[in-house]
C-alpha cells in the first residue's frame, strides 16, 4: 500500500476509534425548545450500510485520496480554459442563486386534514444561517460555489463548523480534495480533506455531502465533464489551432524559390530589403521584383485545417447538451429571434434549473436540517419570482380560477396550496 493509502487508512482508523479529532470550537448555548436533537445525538442509533454494501467492503479497504478517481483536479481547470464550459457553468450557478430560499414550519392539523406550512420569521436562527452562512460567505456565495462544484466534479461538500459564539456555520469545500472513508457497518466512517500539508478529518455528522448519482461508483459523484471531456478538449484544441494560425503557425503564406542556394547572411539581407520595400500600409499592392527569385508557391489551408470552425460548433453543442443549457443562452445567436430566445429561457428553467433546485431542497431537508436540529422545518426555493416561469404562474391562476368558479376547489384549499393563511369564509363552496 502506498503512502497516500496508508495515510487514509490511519485517518480512517482514527475516525472510528476517536484517536484523532480535528480541533473544534467549544459548543455554544443549548438549542431553543423548538428544536429536536440531531440524529447523531439520539442514543443507540447507528447508521448501518446495506448487506450488499457491507459485503463489498473489506476490513482494510480505504478510499484512495481525492483527485485520483472521479474528482480529478483537472476538471476544475476546464472552467478556466474552455469558454463553453465557463459559460454553461456560470449560467447555471447564477440561476441557482436567483430564487430566494424560504423556510417553513410544518404543523399537523386534525386527523384527515393536510399538514399546514407557515413561513418562518426572518429572525429565526436557520433563516439567518442560510442568509449568512459564515462570516465570509453570503447565501449567493454558497449556492454559486455548490453549483459550480456539482457542474465540474459532480459532488459538493459543506463542512458544518461552529463560530466563536457557538452558532453553526457552513463552509463549502473543494470536492477534488475530499476523500470518503467507507465503513462496513455505518456505510461512511468519515471524510478527510487534503487541502494542506496536514489532512483534516471530519465525522459523518460534520459534512453535508451532495452528489450526482454515479452508476459505477456509489461513493463518488459523476461529473458532467466525464462524458463531455473530449468535446471540451476538442474545442480547446481548436482555439489553440486558431491562435497559432493567426500567429502564422510558423508557416509563411508563400514560398519563394531562388535560382541558387543562399547562405544565412544573404537570406537576412534579402528579408531586410523585402520588408523595407513591401511592408506597411504605404507599400500595399506595390509590385515586387526580385532577381534572385525564380518562382513563387502559395501555401494555402487544407480542408482539414478549416475543420476547426465546425469543431468549435460541435464542442459548443456537446457542452450545451451535457449541461442542459440551450445554445442560444451560450451566445449562439445565428438563428436567434425574440420568440425562440424566450422559449430557450423557459426550457432552461423547466428542464434544468427546476430539477436542480428540487435536488438541492431534498438534500437540505433530509440531511442538513436534521443535523442542525430543525427536523420540524423545511426549505423551498421560491420560483414564483423567476420571469421565465411567469407564464406557468399565469396558467396556474387561470386553472385555479376556473376550478373555483365550478366549485371544485374552495378559497382555503387554494390558499393552503400557496402557503397562505386561511380565511373564516374560505371553506364555502
Question: Per-residue pLDDT tens for 132-146?
Answer: 999 999 999 999 999
Q: Which of 13-22, 63-72, 78-87, 108-117 has the lowest mean pLDDT?
A: 13-22
Tell me what pLDDT residue 20 has. 43
Place of cell 500600409: 281
Count of residues making up the chain: 429
Judge contact between 141 and 402, C-beta under 8 A. no
User: What percent of the chain is predicted at pLDDT more than 90?
Assistant: 30
Q: Could you report the per-residue pLDDT of 307-366, keeping only the tens digit for each?
A: 666 667 778 888 899 999 998 888 777 777 777 888 889 999 999 999 999 999 999 999
Sheet holding 155-162, edge to edge: 168-173, 155-162, 207-211
Domain that holds residue 301: 245-308
Residues 419 and 391 in one domain: yes
Residues 75 and 193 in one domain: yes
Work out the pLDDT band at 66, boundaries 50, 70, 90: very low
Would you say residue 215 lies in a domain? Answer: yes
- Top-ranked range on mean pLDDT: pick from 48-57, 176-185, 353-362: 353-362
Which one is predicted more confidently, 24 or 50?
50
CB within 8 Å of 427: residues ≥ 6 apart = 410, 411, 412
Would you say residue 365 lies in a domain? Answer: no
- What cell numbers appear for 373 in the block? 436540529
Would you say residue 160 lies in a domain? Answer: yes
Residues 159 and 52 in one domain: yes
Tell me what pLDDT residue 366 has. 94
Q: Which of 225-234, 375-384, 391-400 has the lowest mean pLDDT?
A: 391-400
Residues 50 and 103 in one domain: yes
Average pLDDT over residues 202-227: 90
Would you say residue 210 lies in a domain? Answer: yes
Would you say residue 328 lies in a domain? Answer: no
Among candidate residues 293, 308, 323, the one where a domain is terminated? 308
Would you say residue 237 lies in a domain? Answer: no
- pTM recorded for the entire structure: 0.70
Tell me what pLDDT residue 14 has. 53
CB within 8 Å of 48: residues ≥ 6 apart = 185, 186, 187
Residues 208 and 275 in one domain: no
Residues 117 and 187 in one domain: yes
Torsional sign, CA 317, 320, 324, 325: negative
Work out the pLDDT band at 306, boundaries 50, 70, 90: low
Work out the pLDDT band at 44, boundaries 50, 70, 90: very low
Residues 290 and 417 in one domain: no
Tell me what pLDDT residue 57 has. 55
Residues 115 and 53 in one domain: yes
Which one is predicted more confidently, 77 or 236?
77
- Top-ranked range on mean pLDDT: pick from 155-164, 248-257, 264-273, 387-396: 155-164
Residues 263 and 221 in one domain: no
Average pLDDT over residues 147-162: 94
Domain count for the chain, please give it: 3
Report the Cα–Cα distance between both ends of the chain, in Å, rounded: 73
Tell me what pLDDT residue 161 has. 92
Backbone angles phi, psi at 11, to 5 degrees: -65, -40
Q: Across all residues in the chain, what is the average pLDDT?
A: 78
Q: Could you report the per-residue pLDDT of 73-129, keeping only the tens digit for each?
A: 888 888 888 888 999 999 999 999 999 999 999 876 566 666 677 889 999 999 999
User: How far is residue 109's CA from residue 416's CA, in Å, rounded to a whole number?
Assistant: 12
Residues 268 and 208 in one domain: no
pLDDT above 70 for 4: no
Which one is predicted more confidently, 382 or 17?
382
Residues 96 and 199 in one domain: yes
Work out the pLDDT band at 155, boundaries 50, 70, 90: very high
User: How far is residue 267's CA from residue 279's CA, in Å, rounded to a whole number?
Assistant: 17
Among candidate residues 308, 327, 352, the one where a domain is terminated? 308
Determine how many CB atoms are found less than 10 A away from the CB of residue 260. 7
pLDDT above 90 for 412: no
C-alpha of 167 from chain center: 27
Would you say residue 329 lies in a domain? Answer: no
Average pLDDT over residues 285-295: 69
Q: Could you report the per-residue pLDDT of 379-391, keeping only the tens digit for each?
A: 999 998 888 887 6
Residues 227 and 257 in one domain: no
Average pLDDT over residues 246-270: 72
Amino acid at each position: 500500500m502506498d503512502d497516500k493509502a496508508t495515510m487514509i487508512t490511519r485517518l480512517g482508523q482514527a475516525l472510528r476509534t476517536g484517536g484523532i479529532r480535528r480541533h473544534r470550537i467549544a459548543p455554544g448555548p443549548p438549542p431553543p425548545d423548538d428544536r429536536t436533537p440531531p440524529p447523531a445525538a439520539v442514543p443507540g442509533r447507528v447508521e448501518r450500510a446495506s448487506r450488499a454494501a457491507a459485503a463489498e467492503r473489506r476490513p482494510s479497504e480505504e478510499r484512495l485520496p481525492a483527485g485520483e478517481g472521479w474528482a480529478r483536479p483537472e476538471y476544475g481547470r476546464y472552467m478556466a480554459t474552455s469558454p463553453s464550459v465557463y459559460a454553461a457553468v456560470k449560467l447555471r450557478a447564477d440561476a441557482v442563486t436567483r430564487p430566494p430560499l424560504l423556510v417553513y414550519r410544518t404543523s399537523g392539523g386534525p386527523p384527515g386534514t393536510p399538514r399546514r406550512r407557515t413561513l418562518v420569521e426572518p429572525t429565526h436562527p436557520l433563516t439567518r444561517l442560510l442568509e449568512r452562512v459564515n462570516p465570509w460567505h453570503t447565501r449567493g456565495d454558497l449556492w454559486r460555489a455548490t453549483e459550480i462544484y456539482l457542474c465540474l466534479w459532480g459532488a459538493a461538500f459543506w463542512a458544518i463548523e461552529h463560530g466563536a459564539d457557538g452558532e453553526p456555520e457552513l463552509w463549502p469545500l473543494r470536492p477534488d480534495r475530499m476523500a470518503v472513508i467507507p465503513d462496513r457497518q455505518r456505510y461512511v466512517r468519515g471524510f478527510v480533506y487534503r487541502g494542506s500539508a496536514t489532512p483534516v478529518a471530519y465525522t459523518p455528522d460534520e459534512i453535508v455531502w451532495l452528489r450526482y448519482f454515479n452508476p459505477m461508483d456509489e461513493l463518488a459523484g459523476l461529473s458532467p465533464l466525464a462524458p463531455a471531456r473530449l468535446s471540451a478538449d476538442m474545442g480547446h484544441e481548436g482555439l489553440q489551432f486558431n491562435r497559432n494560425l493567426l500567429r502564422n503557425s510558423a508557416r509563411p503564406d508563400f514560398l519563394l524559390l531562388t535560382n541558387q542556394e543562399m547562405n544565412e547572411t544573404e537570406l537576412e539581407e534579402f528579408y531586410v530589403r523585402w520588408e523595407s520595400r513591401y511592408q506597411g500600409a504605404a507599400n500595399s499592392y506595390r509590385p515586387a521584383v526580385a532577381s534572385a527569385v525564380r518562382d513563387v508557391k502559395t501555401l494555402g489551408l487544407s480542408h482539414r485545417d478549416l475543420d476547426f470552425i465546425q469543431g468549435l460548433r460541435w464542442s459548443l453543442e456537446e457542452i450545451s447538451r451535457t449541461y442542459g443549457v440551450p445554445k442560444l443562452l451560450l451566445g449562439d445567436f445565428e438563428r436567434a429571434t425574440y420568440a425562440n430566445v424566450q422559449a430557450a429561457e423557459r426550457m432552461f428553467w423547466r428542464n434544468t434549473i427546476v430539477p436542480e433546485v428540487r435536488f438541492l431542497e431534498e438534500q437540505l431537508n433530509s440531511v442538513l436540517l436534521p443535523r442542525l436540529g430543525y427536523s420540524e422545518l423545511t426549505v423551498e426555493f421560491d420560483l414564483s419570482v423567476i420571469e421565465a416561469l411567469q407564464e406557468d404562474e399565469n396558467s396556474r391562476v387561470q386553472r385555479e380560477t376556473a376550478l373555483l368558479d365550478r366549485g371544485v376547489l374552495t378559497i382555503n384549499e387554494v390558499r393552503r396550496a400557496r402557503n397562505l393563511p386561511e380565511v373564516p369564509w374560505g371553506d364555502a363552496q
